[in-house]
């Protein structure tokens, strides 16, 4: 790819990143600095982006396409919106990846290496880690709310099943 094509695609990716709610408040220069700690990942349908149980410092922001989250061979969730994040649980807790991620169709994502961010100047490190972890907090809160709603629905259904199974 020549430099003009790369810059044009890089500008397009930056425009896509600006659609991500947590990054909307980041100015263009800061976003370009964040891109220096990042790379663009392109995956084909069926390709495993990372395996459950693996380790890594990369977090992933979906730019285009769709991915499935698989744990223990069971599909848990499909992500498809620009800005959906995955792979954040391992780097947050310093533990192994809790699930596998597989591409559904062609996928493009921004992969941010937290270890590169940690090596930047102290001010940049604080700024970018704040942005990233603020985004994680929003995503985790949303996932927790969704999980709570699902759990309540299952409890309600279970109570109804128990009630209907009792002899009259």
For residue 59 the two structure tokens come to: 């977090």
Q: What is the pLDDT of residue 30?
A: 67
Q: What is the pLDDT of residue 120?
A: 62
**pLDDT tens sequence across 83-134:** 788 888 777 777 889 899 999 999 998 888 777 666 666 566 666 667 777 7
For residue 162 the two structure tokens come to: 């128990």
**26 vs 137, residue with greater confidence:** 137
Per the CB < 8 A criterion, the answer to whether 73 and 126 are in contact is: no
Q: Domain residues of the chain, as ranges?
A: 3-165
What are the start-end ranges of the E strands in the chain? 38-43, 48-50, 58-71, 74-79, 85-86, 100-113
Residue 146 predicted with pLDDT over 70 = yes
Per the CB < 8 A criterion, the answer to whether 96 and 25 are in contact is: no
**Looking at the domain that runs over 3-165, which CATH code has it been given?**
2.60.120.10
Q: Is the pTM of the predicted complex or chain greater than 0.85?
A: no
For residue 104 the two structure tokens come to: 């559904």
> Would you place residue 166 in the very low, low, confident or very high pLDDT band (cuts 50, 70, 90)?
confident
Q: Is the dihedral of CA 152, 157, 162, 163 positive or negative?
A: positive
Per the CB < 8 A criterion, the answer to whether 58 and 91 are in contact is: yes
Burial of 34 (0-12, 13-18, 19+ CB in 10 A): buried
Residue 70 predicted with pLDDT over 90 = yes
**pLDDT tens sequence across 12-48:** 666 666 666 666 666 666 666 667 777 889 999 999 9
The whole-angstrom separation of Cα 48 and Cα 33 is 28
Angle between helices 122-165 and 28-36 in degrees, nearest 10? 80
Say which residues have a Cβ less than 8 Å from residue 119's Cβ, sequence separation at least 6: 125
Element housing 162 (H / E)? helix 122-165
């Amino acid at each position: 790819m020549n430099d003009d094509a790369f810059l044009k695609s890089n500008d397009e990716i930056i425009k896509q990143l600006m659609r991500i709610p947590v990054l909307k408040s980041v100015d263009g220069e800061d976003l370009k600095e964040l891109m220096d700690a990042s790379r663009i990942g392109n995956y084909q349908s069926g390709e495993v982006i990372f395996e459950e149980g693996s380790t890594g410092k990369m977090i992933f922001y979906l730019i285009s396409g769709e991915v499935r989250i698989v744990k223990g061979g069971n599909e848990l969730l499909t992500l498809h919106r620009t800005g959906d994040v995955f792979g954040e649980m391992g780097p947050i807790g310093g533990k192994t990846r809790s699930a596998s991620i597989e591409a559904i169709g062609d996928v493009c994502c921004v992969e941010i290496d937290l270890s590169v961010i940690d090596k930047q100047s102290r001010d940049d490190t604080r700024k970018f880690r704040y942005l990233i972890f603020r985004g994680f907090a929003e995503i985790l809160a949303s996932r927790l709310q969704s999980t709570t709603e699902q759990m309540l629905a299952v409890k309600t259904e279970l109570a109804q099943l128990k009630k209907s199974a009792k002899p009259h």
